[in-house]
Amino acid sequence: MADRSVGALLVGGGAAGAACAEALHAGGFDGGIMLVGREPDPPYERPPASKGYLAGAQRRDDCLFHDAAWYASRSIELAPRTSVMRLDTEARTATLSTKEVVEFGVALVATGSNVRRLRIEGGQLDGIHYLRALANSDAIRADAEQAEHVVLAGGSYIACEVAATLTTLGRRCTMVMLEDAPLSAHFGPTAGRFFGDLLRTHGVELVCADGLERIEGDGRVERVVTASGRELAADMVVMGTGVIPDVMLARSAGLELGESGGIACAADLETSARGVWAAGDVCEYDSVLHGGRVRIEHHEVALAQGRAAAAAMLGTRRPYSELPYFWSDLSDWCTAEWVGITEAPEREIVRGSLADGAFSVLHLAGGRLVAALSVERGDDLAHARRLIAARADLTGREDELAAGDLEAL
Ligand SMILES: Cc1cc2nc3c(=O)[nH]c(=O)nc-3n(C[C@H](O)[C@H](O)[C@H](O)COP(=O)(O)OP(=O)(O)OC[C@H]3O[C@@H](n4cnc5c(N)ncnc54)[C@H](O)[C@@H]3O)c2cc1C
């Protein structure tokens, strides 16, 4: 027997859950809305945790989507520090960590991701950090105050952003990555060379095409040894080794899972259980844009999918087809923006000048534009969005793409 009943139960107080709650309210959802999240804060934006919040330029409140009073005044019931322990999609009930059993009409599973922990010798020493929540950012900042040398594991945006932020705070940062260049796995080799040069120019040491073999120290980290045998002094280590979708609840609820480990969803983000949607990092949906199942771990995608799930709950069911957008800030040195449908281009075309720090890299596959990265060339990004979405055939138009007016294409 349920203790109580709500119209919409939203599991996970991150970007997707918050966006869904807000859109349900704005759309006049008829029935109570309950947003259950494990963390102590109301839903907040994670991107500042490696950028402005880590740097001390943004306060905790600045990161919140809304404060608790905002939700209360809209009759959205916020349940922080609370986990959904069990979801019964047949009985349409959820059991909370408070032991309360809540009956629901529709539900959203937006349980996000957990960090991927590296299992290496010395991986349990003090001074090793992972970054997902504001509390992790607090711990990194506090440790960095005593540290001179910081080693960052990984070549993706988390390691790059933290290295840039801590370098700006006066720390000596060394990045160790498997890739040949930072951010190259996501943005391609040309952009990777640009970001490598940028980081080095600001004093970040890069150890590329190498991995962490072990971490040494007496209780606390003192040095990192790489696979090639390099020894790097380290007062602390920050791991940027990726994330894994959190499908613990979805799996125990019997929801169908997808190949990339997310929750398998139809084009309108509904899961294998009727009236239960997924959104954000956990959502592996059938994308009309990509022509198959994809799962995307971007802030803006989590927001847009949360809103799309709300629209479906309100009765407007349509395939989710927004073009993925991602950005990354390296301190105040540079902002990179990316739109696209693939991270594995056949060919790259550069517009503008890498040396001047104002350029775009257009990614082509099968004669079509499939992605674009821009630094200081926002107009290119806007045109790229249009050309990608239109699936325009650009065969033989490489010169125009490189130096012509994109508006004319
Ligand atoms: C440091 C950092 C910087 C980032 N920077 C960028 C950036 O610059 N650009 C960009 O596009 N993306 C960035 N991202 C990625 C972006 O933040 C994520 O894609 C986004 O947060 C995903 O939102 P979500 O709602 O799917 O999941 P999450 O934000 O992970 O939220 C899920 C929430 O659900 C909770 N939860 C899980 N299980 C349960 C349960 N059973 N019961 C209750 N609650 C539960 C979790 O504790 C968590 O609070 C960054 C991420 C991090 C960590």
pLDDT tens, residue by residue, 287-298: 999 999 999 999
| Mutate-to-test residue for ligand 1 from 9, 20, 46, highest number of ligand atoms within 8 A of CB | 46
> What letter would DSSP give residue 408?
G
Residue 101 is predicted with a pLDDT of: 98
Amino acid type, 48: P
Which of 184, 179, 202, 186 lies closest to 194, judged by CA? 184
Ligand 1 site residues (CB inside 6 A) read 11-17, 36-39, 46-47, 49-50, 83-84, 110-113, 131-132, 158, 246, 249, 280-281, 297-300, 302, 326-328
- If you take atom 16 of ligand 1, which residue's CA is the nearest one? 299
Matching residue, tokens 């109301």 = 42
The pLDDT assigned to 346 comes to 81
| Tokens 């138009």, located at residue | 397
DSSP reduced 3-state for 84: strand
- Ligand 1, atom nearest to 113 Cα: 30
Judging by DSSP bridges, how do beta strands 33-36 and 76-79 pair with one another?
parallel
Which residue is associated with the tokens 């929801």? 255
Q: Is 87 helix (H, G, I), strand (E, B) or coil?
A: strand
The residue nearest atom 23 of ligand 1, judged by CA position, is 15
Mutate to test the pocket of ligand 1, among 38, 327, 334 (most ligand atoms within 8 A of CB): 38
Task: Please tell me the distance between residue 56's alpha carbon and the centre of ligand 1 in angstroms.
Answer: 21
- CA separation (Å) from 84 to 253, 264, 403? 11, 20, 54
For the whole model, what pTM was predicted? 0.97
Nearest to 107 by CA among 253, 267, 237: 253
C-alpha 147/C-alpha 403 separation (Å) is 46
Buried b / exposed e over 216-232, threshold 16 CB at 10 Å, is ebeeebbbbbbeeeeeb
Q: What is the mean pLDDT of residues 326-355?
A: 92
Please report which confidence band the pLDDT of residue 190 belongs to, taking 50, 70 and 90 as the band edges: very high
Burial 327-337 (b: 16+ CB within 10 A, else e): bbbbbeebebb
CA distances from 292 to 108, 286, 288, 371 (A): 22, 5, 7, 17
Nearest alpha carbon, ligand 1 atom 34? 12
User: What DSSP string describes 273-303?
Assistant: STTEEE-GGGEEEEETTTTEEEE---HHHHH
Task: Name residues whose C-beta falls within 8 Å of residue 209's C-beta, 6 or more positions apart in sequence.
Answer: 177, 178, 179, 180
pLDDT of residue 392: 87
Judged by DSSP in three states, 240 sits in: coil
Could you report the per-residue pLDDT of 346-395, keeping only the tens digit for each?
A: 899 999 999 999 999 999 998 999 999 999 999 999 999 999 999 889 99
- Which amino acid appears at position 126 of this protein? D
Position 177 scores a pLDDT of 98
How large a percentage of the chain has pLDDT more than 70?
A: 99
- Could you tell me the pLDDT band of residue 125, with boundaries at 50, 70 and 90? very high
Q: In angstroms, what is the span from residue 205 Cα to ligand 1's centroid?
A: 29
Pocket test residue of 51, 249, 281, 339 for ligand 1, highest count of atoms within 8 A of CB: 281
Q: How confident is the model at residue 343 (pLDDT cuts 50, 70, 90)?
A: low
| pLDDT band at residue 41 using 50, 70 and 90 as cut-offs | very high
Write out pLDDT tens, residues 16-35.
999 999 999 999 999 999 99
**d(CA 112, ligand 1 centre) in Å:** 5
Q: Which amino acid is present at 143?
A: D
Task: Report d(CA 177, CA 239) in Å as an integer.
Answer: 11
Ligand 1 atom closest to the Cα of residue 97 is 42
Contacts of 195 (CB under 8 A, 6+ apart): 160, 181, 182, 183, 184, 187, 330, 336
Nearest CA to ligand 1 atom 4: 47
Give me the pLDDT at residue 1, please.
82
Indicate the range of 138-142, 155-159, 394-398 predicted with least confidence. Answer: 394-398
- The pLDDT value recorded for residue 186 is 87
* Residue 258 reports pLDDT greater than 90: yes
Give residue 275 CA to ligand 1 midpoint distance, Å: 23
Q: What 8-state DSSP symbol labels residue 220?
A: B
Mean pLDDT of 229-238: 98
Counting atoms of ligand 1 from 1, which one is nearest the CA of 15?
Answer: 25
pLDDT class of 314 with cuts at 50, 70, 90? very high
